[in-house]
Chains A and B, each alone.
Chain A
């Protein structure tokens, strides 16, 4: 499994065109030696803390979780402030479509990481995936960070995936941050057998 470097990335983007990263606002600076810088999009989801009880994946589906969330849309260039230990969902401004034979990792750009920002905890992107990547933004530092929509906060490292995977129907094509439906998952079929019934006093 090899990492794609600048020439190979450009080749996939502009020659074979099977890799899509749209838009590339500044291709020259965004395509680095072995990664592509991605920028922060304009849509966010933050928790309405005062209304939250608990996220229980067993009890709440994505629709119900949405009741405890606030969706924020900003204009490109506007800012969102992330306070110490605050968590928010954001998304890349760029829309990606990976071909069947490429997978990717999303990493925080070190310059932002040093300011305390972490952009993702689930960093792997499967072959054939398409959409704007949801970023799990968290300020691990001690002081608030102002994030500008459009700033290059993360990078995509692309890798060959062999053998190529067949394209399956898509569950969604997100263009902004998306909260996963934790309730309607197949693993509950076996896990339910082990979960004790709720006790009432």
Chain B
């Protein structure tokens, strides 16, 4: 057996260097981090690096004590070191970027407690963080059992006592670390931060396994999928490459179906369709979750966000088109009673406008795979909506609730007052306004009656609309922050514990 080019000793030193460097980096980030930085996540990285170090040291000592040749020992240690370095690289690549961004002064701390409370409805042991991203998009990343997930690559070589020791340390950490990102430019806009609830929907989806009620979806019964397989079978083999146009011979081109069996092609096509369906199911579940949680506020937030990137955008592998998503949402809002005569007239009329808009849209994607995914979603629409309803019974923001609770929120906003509390049924007691009520009041004011707030402000006419939106966002952020604190203060002490 040849001696490794980089000696085991050098490899071991590289591991120790890397561990020391990551520790230094972590400490540096902690020193520069604000109080609001995610200290438990910093802890998790300390524990994780410590666990990786213990595993490597233990493994090296174990190899050294084995009755094998020195060359074999060196090779084994070098191999363990390379695995360890790979793991440390993963920690650096996957976790450190969060540490840098989470300490940003642009984290909207005002909305964090409310989001954390909602996440806790699904899993009490969750730590939620918000961070700004330079891409103009929202995102979700989650780590369940962070230490175990990273260490399990070493599962087979970790002795039980060390495993127990690492596990004991890991128990100090929450079960979930959830990171939700938002575009930098909306960091101080309560209105345009609303799509974060869709990302929270992803957490609910993964935690509860809502998607498992739908996936996998068998596409073999979908006619469009069969047609796509036929289409590929009929494709000339040369289609992918340049055609031999100069050839004088009349060519009889071979077809894909002549080379590959139909079943093989079907398998590949169905796999590609399933991949797209998989992503779409997660997206639609999260949309419906957010919609059930805050009703029209999420719908307007989504439509506005989609409007900035193009309402007519085509479906992608990762996301259904805005039109498909809006179609799903309008149907769910109908289910929640927003089209009934007793619902808010403004909301009803605007939703009818959106329903008409959908009629003008070609929902069927042009792309063959997206078309299969679309048809699969259409076929499973009821099942999907039922699965979301089943797993989120505590969230059902019906039209009746909207009519009962939103007007007093908009009345406050119209008067330039943050809608923090409202009279409760008990005389002389004020109860906190709900998160969903505040967001709906905000969107109602923004969409339908901004002029009342505008009229309060003393500024140049041309600046008034923009100033009013800025004031509206500030009032809403204040209301979300303060109402959440009021809610916690009013909780009976035993419930707090």
Contact code string B454-467 (vs A, CB < 8 Å = 1, else 0): 01111100000000
B421 neighbours in A (Cβ, 8 Å): 22-23
Interface residues of B in 7-47 (CB under 8 A from A): 34-36
A176 neighbours in B (Cβ, 8 Å): 474
Partner of B486, one of A25, A73, A173: A25
Q: Is B428 an interface residue (CB 8 A)?
A: yes
CA distance A130 to B489 in the complex (A): 24
- A-B pair count, CB < 8 Å, reads 85
Q: Is B277 an interface residue (CB 8 A)?
A: no
CA distance A82 to B400 in the complex (A): 49
Q: Is B417 an interface residue (CB 8 A)?
A: yes
Partner of B105, one of A73, A97, A171: A73
B36 neighbours in A (Cβ, 8 Å): 73-75, 78
Name the prevailing secondary structure of the A interface residues.
Answer: loop
Task: Specify which of A71, A79, A95, A130 lies most central, judged by the most chain B CB atoms within 10 Å of its CB.
Answer: A95
B477–A175 CB distance below 8 A: yes
B474–A170 CB distance below 8 A: no
CA distance A148 to B431 in the complex (A): 24
Q: Can you name the residue of chain A whose Cβ is closest to the Cβ of B428?
A: A14
Q: With A168-B458, A175-B418 in contact, do A76 and B485 touch (Cβ < 8 Å)? A: yes
A132 neighbours in B (Cβ, 8 Å): 478
A170–B432 CB distance below 8 A: no
A74 neighbours in B (Cβ, 8 Å): 34-36, 109
Contact code string B395-421 (vs A, CB < 8 Å = 1, else 0): 000000000000000000001111011
B471–A173 CB distance below 8 A: yes
B459 neighbours in A (Cβ, 8 Å): 171
Name the prevailing secondary structure of the B interface residues.
Answer: mixed
Contact code string A145-177 (vs B, CB < 8 Å = 1, else 0): 000001000000000000000001111110110
B483 neighbours in A (Cβ, 8 Å): 23
A22–B482 CB distance below 8 A: yes
A26 → chain B closest CB, angstroms: 7
A95–B420 CB distance below 8 A: yes
CA distance A149 to B113 in the complex (A): 15
Q: Is A138 an interface residue (CB 8 A)?
A: no
Q: Is B475 an interface residue (CB 8 A)?
A: yes
A165 → chain B closest CB, angstroms: 15
Q: Chain A interface: which size bin?
A: 20 to 34
CA distance A24 to B483 in the complex (A): 10
B428 → chain A closest CB, angstroms: 5
CA distance A93 to B481 in the complex (A): 10
Contact code string B427-443 (vs A, CB < 8 Å = 1, else 0): 01010100000000000
CA distance A129 to B28 in the complex (A): 45
Q: Is B112 an interface residue (CB 8 A)?
A: yes
B34 neighbours in A (Cβ, 8 Å): 72, 74
B417 neighbours in A (Cβ, 8 Å): 20, 22, 95, 97, 130
CA distance A73 to B106 in the complex (A): 9
CA distance A144 to B291 in the complex (A): 48
Q: Is A108 an interface residue (CB 8 A)?
A: no
Q: Is A118 an interface residue (CB 8 A)?
A: no
Q: Can you name the residue of chain B whose Cβ is closest to the Cβ of A130?
A: B416
B456–A169 CB distance below 8 A: yes
B486–A171 CB distance below 8 A: no
CA distance A170 to B452 in the complex (A): 13
A74 → chain B closest CB, angstroms: 6
CA distance A95 to B480 in the complex (A): 13
CA distance A34 to B420 in the complex (A): 24
Q: Is A37 an interface residue (CB 8 A)?
A: no
A173 neighbours in B (Cβ, 8 Å): 416, 456-457, 471, 474-475
B109–A75 CB distance below 8 A: yes
Partner of A79, one of B35, B420, B481, B486: B35
A24–B430 CB distance below 8 A: yes
Contact code string A62-83 (vs B, CB < 8 Å = 1, else 0): 0000000001111110110000
Q: Is A134 an interface residue (CB 8 A)?
A: no
Interface residues of B in 97-141 (CB under 8 A from A): 105, 109-110, 112-113
Q: Can you name the residue of chain B whose Cβ is closest to the Cβ of A17?
A: B423
A23 neighbours in B (Cβ, 8 Å): 420-421, 430, 432, 482-483, 485-486
Q: Is A139 an interface residue (CB 8 A)?
A: no
CA distance A26 to B430 in the complex (A): 11
CA distance A168 to B458 in the complex (A): 8
B85 → chain A closest CB, angstroms: 37
CA distance A122 to B105 in the complex (A): 29
Q: With A79-B35, A132-B478, A170-B458 in contact, do A25 and B489 touch (Cβ < 8 Å)? A: yes
Interface residues of A in 71-108 (CB under 8 A from B): 71-76, 78-79, 93, 95, 97
CA distance A8 to B481 in the complex (A): 29
A78–B474 CB distance below 8 A: no
B456 neighbours in A (Cβ, 8 Å): 169-170, 173
Interface residues of A in 34-84 (CB under 8 A from B): 42, 71-76, 78-79
A10 neighbours in B (Cβ, 8 Å): 428
B458–A22 CB distance below 8 A: no
A62 → chain B closest CB, angstroms: 14
B475 neighbours in A (Cβ, 8 Å): 173, 175
CA distance A53 to B483 in the complex (A): 40
CA distance A87 to B418 in the complex (A): 28
Q: With A22-B482, A24-B430 in contact, do A78 and B35 touch (Cβ < 8 Å)? A: yes
CA distance A170 to B416 in the complex (A): 10
CA distance A97 to B418 in the complex (A): 11
Partner of A95, one of B418, B428, B457: B418
Q: Can you name the residue of chain A whose Cβ is closest to the Cβ of B416?
A: A173
B415 neighbours in A (Cβ, 8 Å): 97
Partner of B458, one of A42, A93, A150, A171: A171
Return 22 A-B CB contacts under 8 Å, by A number.
A20-B417, A22-B421, A22-B482, A23-B420, A71-B105, A73-B105, A73-B109, A74-B36, A75-B109, A76-B113, A78-B36, A95-B420, A97-B415, A130-B416, A132-B478, A169-B455, A169-B458, A170-B458, A171-B458, A173-B456, A175-B475, A175-B478
- Footprint of B on A, CB under 8 Å? 10, 14, 20, 22-26, 42, 71-76, 78-79, 93, 95, 97, 130, 132, 150, 168-173, 175-176
Q: Beyond the given A22-B420, A173-B456, A175-B478, could you list 4 further A-B residue pairs with CB under 8 A, ordered by the A residue number?
A: A22-B421, A23-B420, A74-B34, A173-B471
Closest 4 CB pairs of A and B: A169-B458, A175-B478, A23-B486, A22-B420
